[in-house]
Chain A
Amino acid sequence: MQLLLFNAFNGLIQGVFYALMALGLALILSLNSVINMAHGGFLVIGAYLAYALSPYLGFWGALVAGPILAAAIGLAVERLLIRPIYKRTDPLYSLLLTFGLALIVEDMTRTIWGPQGLPLEIPDVINSPVSEVYFFVTGYRLFVIVITTAAVVGLYLLLRYTLLGIRIRAGINDLETTAALGVNIYRLRALNFGFGCLFAGLSGVLAAGVLGLTPPMGNSLIMPSFVAIIIGGVGSLFGAVVGGLIIGLAAGITTTYYPAASEAVIYLMMLIVLVVRPRGLFGEEGLFE
């Protein structure tokens, strides 16, 4: 029983990272119409920059700086590389471009910081287990959940109540009309891309505290995030978060009984969802079909 709880909790934490990744991916997918294969790259950038800056800024400073720098680099990438190809309607090109970026970031990270794993130091205040029986519930893991919840709620409030958020939602709904109403959709898409990368970076810093840093960490987290989006339903940001948590939990629980299948199980779940409910749990009917 304790083993099950242990694995389920581990899975939930893993799911939190998937959810954060998937949320950023889904934002970019919806408004920018780009499958950002480099999303894992932005995660790695956030994580490694936080690692590099933590001796100077401390953990808390790095936790803020990592995601912001990832977002800043995301804005630059969007401006220089992705904006020129929005006009190509075939999504093939943005997919290939970000794919190339993913390879470059992984390889450069390996060259700069080395292929071996690195630890991210976490302050003792939040790193001690909460209780002796449930030793796996460390303060840091609860902290991860709290920060993630805050970020998700923050995004919700932004999208729901601010002018920028309303414009983003309008753009997702109908980009042409939004542009016709005088909204600068280039700036809107740029900001949205930045938000997506901010979430990737945040996910990276938080994940680094649990899993440590390795150059392929981003590219290994991106596939489950796709699955999270497909299970949650393409077009639904809420679905992406729920999908991420579900597959994390499912993988964790499977580890208890049949560890070898812990990765395959999430892809099997995806197949089942695709058969039973092709639009995903919270997806809109007819979208992309």
Chain B
Amino acid sequence: MNRIIAIAAIWVALVALPWWLPLIGGYTALGSKVLIYAIATMGLNVLLGFTGGLSFGQAAYFGLGAYGAGMTLKYLAPSTPLAILIGTLVGGAAATLLGPLVMRRRGIYFAMITIAIGQLFYFIMVRWNEVTGGEDGLAGFSRQDIHFGPWLYRLDETNFYYLVLLGFTVAVAVMWMVLQSPLGHTFVAIRENRRRIEFLGVRVERYIWAAFAIAGFITAFAGTLNALLFNFTSPQDLHWILSGNFVIMIVLGGMRSFFGPLIGVIIFVVAQDYLSSITGNWMTFIGMIFVLIVLLFPRGVLGILARRVEVR
């Protein structure tokens, strides 16, 4: 019951965000960015926190979604829903195709292969100048207002935020249902004791593949929204540094809890926004955040809170 009240309160706060965020010095686009990163990291956490697959190349699928959406708008058709659909499919399909290459690996090796595969897409986007804009990134497209028959939904900054919030709500509902299903329970079982599950006759590799694909589709979906938010995407959106940022956001919030990544994203994105406005050395501070979290708060915010409750 408490949980439902908490979730309802969070959702009301998110709906009201365009009113209260500017009052405390934020801006609505920052709220959109937080929600977009929350979709991406919660999607990644299905694989990382719930299945135990150490993916360190998730930005690749985020970026593929972003480029897919941007290119659709630029070259194919001026339709926002189509851009979101195609971007999500491109990124998700790439993850689904590459899944079999990583699903057999474990631990360190899984991480290494996912990082390295991610860089393939990075270099394609950097070098395929004529189409992708190369190092400068893909510009020259903009999100288009959505028409529902006679109705027109203008995508200004606030309305776009509500589109992102809708996407966030849908993505969260989908992930929640997946994790509550037998599929989701199998994911957790694999994380807890892979060998035992294997002996029970479960084809573990297929489930890891499924988790990889689901995480890929959801991060790609977040990527499409990110491209639409800025009307721009660049190779930085597929770089391994972003992959690492995704993972640290998850750990910071608490990788064992469903809403942990959301907390981590809020702290990380706000900190990054603030640090980059006051110092040129923000990268050093982000690096220190990494080191401190690993050494001092490996369970993350929600992990610590959960432990407090248990101790009581």
Contact = CB atoms under 8 A, between A and B. Distances in A.
Interface string A233-262: 010000000000000000000000000110
Interface in A114-157: none
Contact of B251 (A96, A227, A268, A278): A96
A84 interface: yes
Contact of A100 (B54, B113, B294): B294
B119 interface: yes
Interface string A246-289: 00000000000000110110011011001100100000000011
Given A99-B290, A288-B106, A230 B128 contact: no
B251 A92 contact: yes
A107 interface: yes
A113 B101 CA distance: 41
Q: Which size class do A's interface residues fall under?
A: 35 or more
B85 to A, nearest CB: 27
Nearest to B284: A107
Contact of B288 (A102, A104, A229, A278): A104
How would you classify the secondary structure of chain A's contact residues: helix, strand, loop or mixed?
helix
A267 B119 contact: yes
B291 A100 contact: yes
B127 A263 contact: yes
A264 B113 contact: no
Q: Is the interface of B mostly helix, strand, loop or mixed?
A: helix
Interface stretch (B2-10, B32-40, B156-164, B241-249): B241-249
Contacts of A94: 294
A108 B113 contact: no
Nearest to B113: A230
A223 B127 contact: no
Given A97-B290, A260-B127, A263-B123, A270 B116 contact: yes
Given A92-B247, A96-B247, A270-B117, 9 more contacts: A97-B294, A99-B290, A103-B283, A107-B284, A223-B119, A227-B116, A234-B109, A263-B126, A289-B104
